Structure 1
Amino acid sequence: MIIFQAAGVSVPDPRGDGQDRVLLEAATTELTERRIAVIGANGSGKSTFLRLINGLARPTTGLVTVEGKDTVREVSAVRRRVGFLFSDPLSQLVMPLVHEDVELSLKATIKDKARRRQAALSHLATMGLSHLAERSVHDLSGGERQLVALTSVLATGQGILVADEPTTLLDLRNNILLQDTLFGLDQQVVYSTHDLDFAARADRVLVIDAGRIVHDGEPRGAIDHYRRLATTHPGGH
């Protein structure tokens, strides 16, 4: 279970006037559903909210726990439970070849190189990506890169996947493919998106606006709320 207890994030204002800039106002919520979407305008605080879940961002007020583990004091334990998928797969694909990148994810848990190679190939096969194993990550399509990045994340066996706008750079075919792949996983998935059809597939949707959770509920009501916000404030917040 993911629990936010008055968790907020502020940073020094770059204007240097001594005031802090609030990225996320104190939020208290429990995330228990299998599929949770987070929607909102660019700069609304969605990414900050997601990054709090695995310790990529640290709360400046309150705390966040994952299965009872504090994301600040026990960040290593949290990251063994939470995988993170970025919108741009090239930001997390660091090895030249596909199988090497999956192997890198397994390095901490499988010390033997031959066993690690076999495990990586097995994970790629499970995702239907065996044909890409020897390919350079730079020769892949955007959809293939995102699926390889997802395979590398899932290979470590975390029970929770956080995905920050994972379909943003994908064409329609690969967008649908990635969505279907995510929704076929056993893991709990918490994801942000601007694709309202993608959000509508979730069990629960949170709307974030100007650093605050302004709506939290079933998809239709949340999306309707977000549409009203966009109409009322067409320039952003």
Structure 2
Amino acid sequence: MPGIRLDAASYAVTGREILSNLSFTLTERRIAVIGRNGSGKTTLLRLMAGLIAPSSGTVQVEGMDPARDRKAMLDRLGILFQNPDHQIIFPTVGEELAFGLKQQGRTSDEAAGLVSDLLARHGRTHWEKAPVQTLSHGQRHFLCLLAILAMQPATILLDEPFAGFDMPTIARMSRMFDALPQRLIAITHAPHTAANADRVLWLEAGRIRADGRPGDVLPQFEAEMARMGAVDADTDLAL
């Protein structure tokens, strides 16, 4: 089964339901999941990635359960977190890039060759021996993306991919994302970053509020956010 499928999937922590009865299938090339802070977007991303399992219902990636078969996900699904420091585990760029390749069964020599080729294609051969701590935040974020691309997954999940970046960095990242052949599913609270998606899902309080083309969903979302901005919009999040 192609794509990512959720069937009546819910997720709860200590009795509090964060995601409720979600059912959809994602097969489009560019997908955005929008919603305000606290709506459950990041929890949904973790559920699709298999980092957590649903409390009820099912999640499938290409017909497999991502929470149960992590190894099978290596060449099917990648995830780019908002904070690169939550993702990087090795001291040098070369080691970080080689790790996923070795997890896929590559030998050390094969992984080293693929890392060198990857860095050369992106004009960053000089990064290979560099300590990760010498890279800027944006460079570390890019390193995490390169580590995902090295493994060539079919789908990449993006958690607020442009948060905290200046305009030139956003422009460079946007061009790169646009050129990627993979299916991209971006989690965002900023509607303008979803304008070019093929499909937009609006998540509100752990449920799908709207699902469709950007031209249909985004005006509804922006109007509701403007309405909430005129009142105490965050009072319900603590309930």
Pick aligned residue for 1:149 from 136, 144, 150: 144
Pick aligned residue for 1:72 from 56, 59, 67: 67
Alignment coverage as a number of residue pairs:
230
Alignment correspondent of 1:17: none
Alignment correspondent of 1:2: 4
Residue 88 (str. 1) matches residue 90 (str. 2): no
Preserved contact between residue 202 and residue 208 of structure 2 (Cα < 8 Å): yes
Report the CA distance between 1:134 and its aligned residue: 2.6
> Separation in 1 of the partners of 2:90 and 2:73?
24
Alignment correspondent of 2:178: 183
> Separation in 2 of the partners of 1:201 and 1:214?
20
SS at 1:59's partner residue?
A: coil
The more displaced of 142-151 and 129-138 is: 129-138
SS at 2:216's partner residue?
A: helix
> Separation in 2 of the partners of 1:195 and 1:130?
34
SS at 1:146's partner residue?
A: helix
> Separation in 2 of the partners of 1:43 and 1:22?
12
> Separation in 2 of the partners of 1:130 and 1:164?
27
Report the CA distance between 1:48 and its aligned residue: 1.2
> Separation in 2 of the partners of 1:61 and 1:110?
33
Report the CA distance between 1:79 and its aligned residue: 4.2
Report the CA distance between 1:169 and its aligned residue: 2.4
Note the residue ranges of structure 2 that are not aligned, 5 or more in a row.
none
Equivalence map 1:86-125=2 (5 Å): 86-125=81-120
- 1:132 maps to amino acid: W
Residue 11 (str. 1) matches residue 6 (str. 2): no
- 1:62 maps to amino acid: G
SS at 2:79's partner residue?
A: strand
User: Superposition RMSD on alpha carbons, in Å?
Assistant: 1.7
The one-character-per-residue Cα deviations of 1:8-62 (angstroms, maximum 9, x if unpaired) are 11111xxxxxxx2111111111101001011111110111111111201211111
The more displaced of 134-143 and 198-207 is: 134-143
> Separation in 2 of the partners of 1:182 and 1:218?
19
Alignment correspondent of 1:207: 202
> Separation in 1 of the partners of 2:226 and 2:42?
22
> Separation in 2 of the partners of 1:193 and 1:128?
29
Alignment correspondent of 1:130: 125
Given the two structures, how large is their TM-score scaled by the length of structure 2? 0.90
Pick aligned residue for 1:44 from 39, 43, 60: 39
> Separation in 2 of the partners of 1:118 and 1:72?
31
The one-character-per-residue Cα deviations of 1:59-85 (angstroms, maximum 9, x if unpaired) are 111101111112334343234411111
Report the CA distance between 1:148 and its aligned residue: 0.9
Alignment correspondent of 2:165: 170
Equivalence map 1:55-70=2 (5 Å): 55-70=50-65
Preserved contact between residue 74 and residue 104 of structure 2 (Cα < 8 Å): no
> Separation in 2 of the partners of 1:106 and 1:99?
11
The one-character-per-residue Cα deviations of 1:76-110 (angstroms, maximum 9, x if unpaired) are 32344111110011211121221121011212235
Report the CA distance between 1:217 and its aligned residue: 0.9
